[in-house]
Amino acid sequence: MAPDSINTISGEISVNGRSYKLPKQPTVVVCIDGSEPGYIEAAVAAGRAPWFEKVLKAGTNLIADCVVPSFTNPNNLSIVTGRPPEVHGISGNYFLDPDTGKEVMMNDPKFLRVETLFPAFQRAGCRIAVVTAKDKLRGLLGKGLALAPGKACSFSSEKSDKASTAENGIDQVNALVGMDVPDVYSAGLSEFVFAAGVRLMERDRPEIMYLSTTDYIQHKHAPSTPVANDFYAMMDGYMAKLDAMGCTIVLTADHGMNAKFGNDGQPDVIYLQDVFDDWQGKDKARVILPITDPYVVHHGALGSYAVVYCEQPEAMAAKLKAMPGIEMALTKAEAAKRFELPADRLGDLVVVSTKHKVLGTSAARHDLSGLTEPLRSHGGVSEQHVPLICNRKLATAADGRHWRNFDAFDLALNLVAQ
């Protein structure tokens, strides 16, 4: 990993080829998991989100593109490195490790190929706080930080009761926040993140804070529904508290969300392993679903992006493109170029389904018993558009810039009025 450079004269650091001014006031970047455009606006229209209403009118309100695959791990790591997956190496939540030939979660920090911004800002003298809903991201986001009280902390809602100064740079988190460990399948898991952020800002006033939620609500409830409005009203209150403490706040998302079910209310699925078994023989091809993580109750491991290890990839891509419900079938080289992905962590093919379709392996392998509402999911290009919002105005006009969610820290530190 190339170390950052610190320009003490201008008060800037350079990380992964991008420069950032050191914060003049606490800077908070929030990744609202699964927050497609429309959720915030609907809560505002319902009169439930006065802080967001003020920010949409008087701050910065942009639409950005997330990275594809539009999943949690690749996008969170893009946001905190400022670069696409071809640079940081995290190509999904789950992948086939070419070094071992085994399918594994991409949670291990060893898979991250560059530094995040956080160690660089810490070396420049900033206090850092990283709070995530699920523990799966904590190791990746906290990699390289010198974790210690008053210097840096990195912990999750999910395992807040297990936080220690040695492992997380903080202990007694639940007592600090005033909340018990929330259920992993609840809005409370995200609310804990916001409550912890407010308490840390009150107590420690970190210069750089990153808050990352879970998309449990967005998987089950569309924009403008009562439960969704309740969720954004809750968030609105915590953001108002951070704003009142003088924080520059940028909110974005790791991906959007779309309905993925048919007229019968059942998931509209193309089971790719079954397709390839029919075309090439049983188990001759291997389908990997990078949406897979330990928490599949709300999506059944069904998303709109898959990778396939197979023979004759060009010929298979042509056959897939002729199938209804397939938006793209790209060879490894094509996908790496089109989506800025690390080619060595892709299959022979990358397959993307259309807006309301999802991709599975074999029908027999998916447990959909936890889908108590019609499926909403993500992963493809249809879920690329996300909000990029700041409580400060742009210092100069955007001039038609193509915004990405991983411009969040650039926006907060370099581009808005301080």
- Whose tokens are 């609202």? That residue is 32
Strands 94-97, 326-331: pairing is unpaired
The three-class DSSP label of residue 165 is helix
Please provide the DSSP assignment of 362-409 as one string.
Answer: -GGG---TT--S--EE--SGGG-EEEEEESS-BSS--TT---BGGGHH
Number of Cβ within 10 Å of residue 159's Cβ equals 17
Look at residue 129 in the predicted model and tell me its pLDDT: 98
State which amino acid sits at residue 400: G
Question: What does the alpha-carbon distance between residue 259 and residue 344 come to, in Å, rounded to a whole number?
Answer: 32
Look at residue 2 in the predicted model and tell me its pLDDT: 34
Closest residue by Cα to residue 277 from 343, 360, 366, 377: 360
Predicted model pTM: 0.95
Structural tokens at position 100: 């071992």
Strands 286-288, 305-309: pairing is antiparallel
State which amino acid sits at residue 381: V
Number of Cβ within 10 Å of residue 172's Cβ equals 12
Q: 379 φ, ψ to 5°?
A: 130, -25
The three-class DSSP label of residue 209 is strand
Look at residue 237 in the predicted model and tell me its pLDDT: 98
Q: Bridge partners of 251? A: 30, 389
Burial (Cβ within 10 Å: 0-12, 13-18, ≥19) of residue 324: exposed
Buried b (16+ CB within 10 A) or exposed e, 274-296: bbbbebeeeeebbbbbbbbbebb
Look at residue 10 in the predicted model and tell me its pLDDT: 57
Q: Output the CA angle 288-361-306, nearest 5 degrees.
A: 40
Look at residue 398 in the predicted model and tell me its pLDDT: 78
State which amino acid sits at residue 30: V
Closest residue by Cα to residue 128 from 46, 200, 71, 48: 200
Structural tokens at position 200: 């840390």
Q: 218 φ, ψ to 5°?
A: -65, -30
Structural tokens at position 63: 């639409």
Number of Cβ within 10 Å of residue 272's Cβ equals 26
Q: What is the pLDDT along the chain (418 residues), one digit of tens a residue?
A: 233 444 444 599 999 999 999 999 999 999 999 999 999 999 999 999 999 999 999 999 999 999 999 999 999 999 999 999 999 999 999 898 988 988 899 999 999 999 999 999 999 999 999 999 999 899 999 999 999 999 999 999 999 999 999 999 999 999 999 999 999 999 999 999 999 999 999 999 999 999 999 999 999 999 999 999 999 999 999 999 999 999 999 999 999 999 999 998 889 999 999 999 999 999 999 999 988 865 554 456 899 999 999 999 999 999 999 999 999 999 999 999 999 999 999 999 999 999 999 999 988 877 776 667 889 999 999 999 999 999 999 998 877 899 999 999 999 999 998 7
Structural tokens at position 412: 């907060």
Structural tokens at position 221: 């409830």
State which amino acid sits at residue 271: Y
Look at residue 296 in the predicted model and tell me its pLDDT: 56
